[in-house]
Structure 1
Amino acid sequence: MIRHIVIWTLEDPADAPRFKALLDSCADLVPGMLAFEVGIRAPGLEANADVVLISAFADAAALDAYQRHPAHQAVAAQLGPMRRERRVVDFERA
């Protein structure tokens, strides 16, 4: 299994709900997507970023299919101008 975690800091943190809604539209895009959860920072809880995606894929091929999927690419194009910073960690999990 491959875990795919992405963390964003937005130009305007008030855009977080819209950003999340766009990301949520990518859930269940490809076979082999095992988990997909988007969270936004909560007032009063520690955070140094605005949005996080925690997802899991059966294998690297499923992650690649997700990243190349036209719907994902269209969403990514909309998210790009809204973000200040993006960090990614992909790792294998038994």
Structure 2
Amino acid sequence: MLTHVVLMKFVDPRDAPKAKELLEGMGGRVEQIRDLTVWLDVVGSPVSYDLCMITRHESLDELRGYQGHPAHLEVAGWLRPRLEARAVVDHVP
């Protein structure tokens, strides 16, 4: 199992709830996602990111399939212009 962790910092943090909604909507549409969780930051410190998403995939090939899936590309198209920063860690637990 491969775990994909993404942290997002938005230019306008008020975009984070809409991003959460869009990301969670991929759960039933992208077959390569085995598990999906999305959280919003509640502290808002200077070093905080606004959103954390974790997806789990059976393999690296599934992660790549998810990344190229039309539903993911649609959400990413909405996200990218609104992001100030993004960090990703992919790991095997």
With the length of structure 2 as denominator, give the TM-score of the two structures. 0.89
| CA gap 1:10/1:44 in 2 versus in 1, 3 angstroms | closer
Aligned residue for 1:26, secondary structure, equals coil
With the length of structure 1 as denominator, give the TM-score of the two structures. 0.88
| CA gap 1:44/1:83 in 2 versus in 1, 3 angstroms | closer
**Unpaired stretches in structure 2, ≥5 consecutive residues:** none
Partner of 2:31: 30
Query: How many angstroms apart in 1 are the aligned matches of 2:78 and 2:71?
Result: 11
Q: How does 1:1-94 map to 2 (within 5 A)?
A: 1-28=1-28, 29-31=30-32, 33-43=33-43, 48-93=48-93
How big is the shift at 1:82? 1.1
Q: Is the deviation greater in 2-11 or in 57-66? A: 57-66
Query: How many angstroms apart in 1 are the aligned matches of 2:80 and 2:43?
Result: 24
Fraction of identical pairs, as percent: 33
The runs of 4+ residues in structure 1 deviating greater than 4 Å are none
Aligned residue for 1:20, secondary structure, equals helix
Count of residues paired in the alignment: 92
